[in-house]
Structure 1
């Protein structure tokens, strides 16, 4: 179903009999409809609360949660912020929360400054500064130097990019997500 200024309309029905209706199946169905109507015409997708529908969103939320922890750890302490500003020409990692879009904006920002973030956490200054929480400092460092974590960030960014030629550049069942 879709709705517009002209009212609701029926778009498509899919016979899913005999199919495994996991989160990847749901994502692919949504992708097909988005391709049909054009991404510029999609404002929101509403599903039921079935676990397979929630699973599609959980992939994104986990990576976003890691990014928020990293941002908070750096931004919420003066000395860590000083170290950050030595490596990255930004004043802050903060993004205005606009629900889903802010997740993507934050991840794109992280990807743009990836090398600076990595240089920061492998620097002698980061290693010698052992303020209040070495556990969180190690979590931040592990994530920022992990190729697997950055692959997931890139996957989410690629998956949400507009479709120009009716094909996405990502595989919705990438092994790094399992």
Structure 2
């Protein structure tokens, strides 16, 4: 009896386990529900495609015992087991696509970050970079500048930071453009972009008008060149350059040259014509007014200031003071010991301040000498100057006499008060 009771009990236990196993057989498992939520973005496109295909198939298979719910079969709606484990281990999902977390459609500007613009917030990675790593990156840029002999003012180009942003957006392993790429396709594409930009400027001339600017200069081979630039509210563009070395600079010839430029730009588009303030250029401007009278002729302000400084340099009193200043600076900068001694007393301040023209350089040098009057007198009266082996030579004694001459300082102060030139060394 005991054996039959235990056998009956075993049959009940087995039957109960079978019934529990049948409960929820067709329901999705918890792992499968988590998998559907994790892979929803990846299978969205595939789901739409399968929906369309199976919906069309459902129309043909009606009456064949196949159940379709909303265009999806029960088999299609379920995910295969083990997919969640693959995703957790970093493997590809069943669709074969790797989720990126961002849309592949958009402007190219989205790939170039603007966190380097003024007032913007830097990236977390850039903010957490150590000072040593930042310095090493800047040092590599500096080594390239030194090796290629590139002027330091190239960093002032607005393309400099844009180049760095473009490289960072690509990431590690970016290969710089080769010699042949720079002189080939890249150069051609850039020239095309510049040409298109110039065409846009030309179209704006009809709406806003433009100003023609002529700039005459002499190159290292003593050629007389004249550059023509066109200004409008949208920007300035270079038109062309003419070599007038073999041409006499009379008013009639200059008028013919300028008239051809006006016809090229368009008479209706010209608002004013800007040239130098020399006599022959003024006469050419008068001929313009007599022939057209539809635009203005204006002298170049920079050239006017330059001519004023040139006239001041030719005055006898000022010419003497300027010559004495040049004598002092020439002596100091031609002797290393005296130059270092001068920087010690002036605390590193230089006396020579170069400008775009020699006339402006002379006036700016006078201003610098006047400002360093006390340090210069202290230097030539110090024990360091007395210990200088060449302090008693003729040229050294001449400079000392100039520094302690009150008339020299009065003439320099007169020049400084007369020429109220800006502290900016670019002013000419």
| Aligned counterpart, 2:342 | 84
Q: RCO greater where, 1 or 2, for CA within 8 Å and sep 6 or more?
A: 1
Higher strand share: 2
Structure 1 unaligned blocks of 5 or more:
9-38, 47-52, 163-178
Shift of 1:91: 5.5
DSSP-derived class of the 1:104 partner: helix
Aligned to 2:305: 43
TM-score (norm 1): 0.58
Paired residue for 2:285? 7
Q: CA deviation at 1:59?
A: 2.5
**1:106-146 CA-partner distances (Å, limit 9, x unpaired):** 00001111110110011111122132861111111111111
Q: 1:40 to 1:158 in 2, by over 3 A?
A: farther
Work out the CA distance in 2 between the residues paired with 1:77 and 1:132.
11
Q: What is the match of residue 67 of structure 1?
A: 325
Matches within 5 A, 1:102-141: 102-131=361-390, 134-141=393-400
- Hey, which bits of structure 1, 4+ residues long, moved more than 6 A? 1-4
Distance change in 2, residues 1:45/1:105 (3 Å): closer
Decide which of 142, 161, 167 is 2:420's aligned counterpart. 161
Whole-Å separation in 2 of the counterparts to 1:100 and 1:137: 26
Instruction: Check conservation: 1:64, 1:103, Cα contact below 8 A.
Output: yes
1:96 is displaced (CA, Å) by 2.0
Conserved? CA contact 1:74–1:81, under 8 Å? yes
Contact 1:75 1:92 in 2 (8 A): no
Give structure 2 stretches of 5+ with no counterpart.
1-276, 287-300, 422-428
Aligned residues: 126
Shift of 1:150: 0.2
Instruction: Quote the Cα distance in structure 2 between the aligned partners of 1:111 and 1:127.
Output: 23
TM-score, length of structure 2 as denominator length: 0.26
**Which residue pairs with 1:171 in the alignment?**
none
